[in-house]
Chain A
Amino acid sequence: MSSSNDVGMDALTEPYREALRRGELVVQHCKACDRTIMYPRHLCPFCYEDQLDFVPGPTTGTLHSFAVHRVGSPTGFEHQLPYAVGIVKLEGDVQFLARLWPDAEGDWGHYTLDGAVVFRPADTEEMTARPVPWFGLPG
């Protein structure tokens, strides 16, 4: 369900989504206290200053946990099954939910928790339709 709040939220979300559509990952940054922030916020949650911009994020992180959807999905994702999502932690104390590429065997059995994962965006069509970070195994 959308709400009248969504229009106003665009100003906050658009730079983040725009970068993802270009195949880049950015994180929010507070110029006042020099901390990185995820998810993007209206005021810095550390110092409450309003000096926020976006900076390129680290492209490697660690996998905190993941889940593989095999049966059942929210409406609109049926054709993507199976697919995996994971919580990725980056340097600078930020984390978020990401999509995970299948491993070399076409499944997700090679992922290990606390193991390294690398930002690797999907194609432009996918990133435009669903702008979320995609991560995969290194190499």
Chain B
Amino acid sequence: MSDTEPVFIGIGEQPSGRYPNRPFMGDLVRVGVAAVKDAGLTTQDIDTILLIPCLHSPADQADLVFSRIVEELGLNKKVKCQYMVHSGGSTSDNTIRTAAGLIDSGHAKNVLVLQAEKWGSAPVTEMIDMLTANGIPREWEKQSGLSFNAVGALIQQRYMFESGSTPADMASVCVALRDWANLNPNAMYKDKKLTVEQVLNSKMITDPIRAFECPMLADGACALVLTSRSNARTLGKDRVVRIAGESGVVSHYSIGQEREVGKLGWELAGPAAYEAAGWGPEDADIAEIYDSYAAVLTSGLEGLGLAPKGEAARMFARGEFSPGGRLPTNTNGGLLSAGHTGVGGGTALLTEGVRQLLGRAGERQVDGATRAVLGGSGGTYMDSQVLLLEGVSA
């Protein structure tokens, strides 16, 4: 591996959930400082800040774009550049691509990736209307009354039809994620258990999706620090996380134009990433895949070769992706049980993947986790992005 190879060396996270007294900028500062400390750096070492957008407030989003965080961190005239990458839920994947390119090319030395969201404390109706206005074409689809839950329902209906999965199979996806969340002190639902019966007895919201199958909007914040492998060695790091492979595909803008809503773009995204990594889905120790609805996750697992076609939901029902299962999946509880922190849901999965590969996931640590498959998707599941991460010695 080359000296300039980008590696993850630090992470920070604030608990997800409803925290109305935790200000947005405060979360960003706290999580950023935590990640920099975790990396064994000082904030003065950070030369590039990459920002993950927030969705709860155009004003806070403008603060992000216009460098408020640099001032808040006291880094005036210290930071070379700070800017935002944005592709909705897949932003974390695209941000890491950007960070990696900057480090490998020498344009950046130490990159701080920052994310915070206040969805859990924002007015729900306003947020739902905002989601309906974003990623849903107002010329062609808005007049139909399409809600975001219905986007998930269109995917789940088709997935269930093609795979023959039952409502109980789909419910078991949510239950497995809840079992993981119960092991994660930062998860929104760390204290609440969930059973298949509870899911099936909850109110039908948008057929075939019931109340307990809808993601809960949450506040949350994450940060990651990347540097070059040679810097990591100089810092005396023993273990770092490298990017073994990556790939992706953009499949549509409007859900009405997706040719295969039960599959999305995953099948096209995987092969190039595995080829670059030199290992395959059978070698993965963990998976962290976007899961704002159960079928988004099952289609991802299947499309990325981590489950045979049509089998992922039934495998969830057998506990194969649960704590102690064959392939630990969404080990933080995912968006469905750790909390849907907007664009940050993907960042939380990424942070969890890095945490597991650094061996620092506490009670839910997967023994010997070395290889992780990460999958992200944005908008109306407009893209399928893959990062293959590996824990290695520096």
Contact = CB atoms under 8 A, between A and B. Distances in A.
A113 B133 contact: no
Interface in B124-180: 125, 128-129, 132-133, 137-147, 149-151, 153-155, 157-158, 161
Interface stretch (B4-12, B17-25, B192-200, B250-258): B250-258
Given A66-B157, A97-B141, A87 B256 contact: yes
A48 B153 CA distance: 34
A95 B257 contact: yes
A56 B205 CA distance: 36
A73 B147 contact: yes
Query: Which of A6, A130, A132 is the most central at the interface, judged by chain B CB atoms within 10 Å of its CB?
Result: A132
A87 B157 CA distance: 11
A116 interface: no
B144 A68 contact: no
Given A39-B254, A71-B205, A85 B158 contact: no
7 contacts: A65-B161, A67-B209, A72-B128, A74-B145, A76-B145, A113-B161, A132-B141
Query: Which of A12, A77, A87, A98 is the most central at the interface, judged by chain B CB atoms within 10 Å of its CB?
Result: A87
Contacts of B207: 67-68, 70, 108
Given A1-B133, A74-B142, A95-B259, 17 more contacts: A13-B139, A39-B139, A39-B256, A66-B157, A67-B151, A67-B208, A68-B207, A69-B206, A71-B206, A72-B206, A74-B129, A74-B132, A77-B145, A80-B145, A83-B145, A99-B144, A132-B143
Chain B: interface size category: 35 or more
Contact of A75 (B129, B144, B208, B261): B129
Interface string A45-62: 000000000000000000
A121 interface: no
B204 A97 contact: no
A96 B256 contact: yes
Nearest to B162: A113
Chain A: interface size category: 35 or more
Contacts of A70: 203-207
Contacts of A1: 133
